[in-house]
Amino acid sequence: MAYFDAASAAPLHPVARQALHASLDEGWADPARLYREGRRARMLLDAAREAAAEAVGCRPDELVFTASGTRAVHSGVAGALAGRRRVGRHLIVSAVEHSSVLHAAEAHEADGGEVSRVAVDRTGAVSVRGYAAALRSGTALACLQSANHEVGTAQPVAEVAEACRAAGVPLLVDAAQSLGWGPVDGDWSLLAASAHKWGGPSGVGLLVVRKGVRFAAQGPVDERESGRAAGFENIPAIVAAAASLRAVRAEAAGEAERLRELTERIRARVPGTVPDVEVVGDPERRLPGVVTFSCLYVDGEALLHELDRAGFSVSSGSSCTSSTLTPSHVLKAMGVLSEGNVRVSLPPGTAEEDVERFLRVLPGAVAGVREKLGAPVAATVTAPAPAGDALVVDSLGKRCPIPVIELAKVIGDVPVGGTVRVLSDDEAARLDIPAWCGMRGQEYVGAEPADRGAAYVVRRLS
């Protein structure tokens, strides 16, 4: 089985496993106690903190360990907003942040705060100008991920941090996806990350708050972790997390180069072997091991099952794979195709043979799913409808990718200049029909209200 979902969770690094086992015998006691066992536990905790701080590029007393990366984000956002409440209650986030950041923003709004969401371009990147324009006198905090978790696009953190610093606003960086590859550049103020993203054990996050940043921890506070992370520290897991971070950093330069070559191979060859595919994300400024593409006329969940049966573990941001049947907020913000979305995120050590086998298997898997769904093999042209008449496709109650498949089947039935109206109550259609038009050289006229859902109007150009 080839595991290609490291962006969700990387396999436990051998060094992490060794450190975890070794520290189970030494790190079980309360590190706050002064007896021998407590002192041993304290020494392990302090050493782990120093190692993690060195990897991040901060002081050890600026870093605390939390119960997860999500907990680090929530604590960081809430504490920074509370610490700067006298300045204002305005929060800035990007439209493609991890759900942990967006959920924190929603909680802030529910509590009466104000949130600005900075848009991204089709590669998933924010503009520095967009962040700078969102800053104002009442801005308490800005948040920006170092790299996107779904499409791999790296963000201009250093430049945004400079704009925030000039405005006197702290920047919180979600570095979960990138910290294993190197420190985050720029004059940021707060940083959050999660150990299971770099091969450490799950259940360990870290939060960094630079000296001088106004911060007021929220919720009940105890004496542990500078009052910013309540509860007994899981010292064996923390030691393993710090050890694995140091280990992956030592391997990062060579492994990043190797994985970039493998993902570039996927980016280049998939569009040539699978028809109607859109590779998404920035082609240059990106994480080493992540490549994401979307396939027209494909049900994302069905494709993932096909690949799983073929021995590949991949993930998807497709609406078809979610219980809500709505497109990924990342793909939606980018304005790209969400149908049949596949994210391949290669863990360190991925074998070249596994990537080659994936490239051989993928075309057949996509073709098989398309055949089951009755997708068009090629555009068919039949006798044109009378000029001026609009053809209506009723796909109400049918989910992604059926509305687009039905559109593709009938576009040749209208004359050039004629229109097709697709009735759909699937939110994914609002994203996928315009994307289909862009890929197929047709004109997307727009959406109109309907009794149920909307009517998406497409004009045939060729």
- Which residues are known to be catalytic? 320
**Integer CA distances (angstroms), 458 to 101, 136, 364, 379, 444, in order:** 36, 41, 30, 15, 5
Cis peptide leading into 60, omega within 30 of 0?
no
What angle in degrees, to the nearest 10, is found between the helix axes of 352-373 and 235-273? 60
- The structure tokens 């940021």 sit at 188
d(CA 104, CA 107): 5
Answer yes or no: are the C-beta atoms of 240 and 248 closer than 8 Å: no
- The structure tokens 């596949």 sit at 342
CA dihedral for 240, 242, 245, 247, sign (positive or negative): negative
Strand 90-94 with 114-118, pairing: parallel
d(CA 33, CA 206): 23
DSSP assignment letter at 94: E
DSSP H or E stretch at residue 440: helix 429-440
DSSP H or E stretch at residue 205: strand 205-209
DSSP assignment letter at 223: S
- The structure tokens 């290609």 sit at 4
CA dihedral for 137, 141, 146, 152, sign (positive or negative): negative
Residue 86, judged by CB atoms within 10 A of its CB (0-12, 13-18, 19+), counts as exposed
Answer yes or no: are the C-beta atoms of 153 and 125 closer than 8 Å: yes
66 Cβ contact partners less than 8 Å away, ≥ 6 residues apart: 72, 75, 204, 205, 206, 207, 225, 228, 229
Decide: helix, strand or coil at residue 351.
coil
312 Cβ contact partners less than 8 Å away, ≥ 6 residues apart: 1, 2, 4, 358, 361
Residue type present at position 370: R
- The structure tokens 């520095």 sit at 128
Q: Which two tokens stand for residue 355?
A: 């990537």
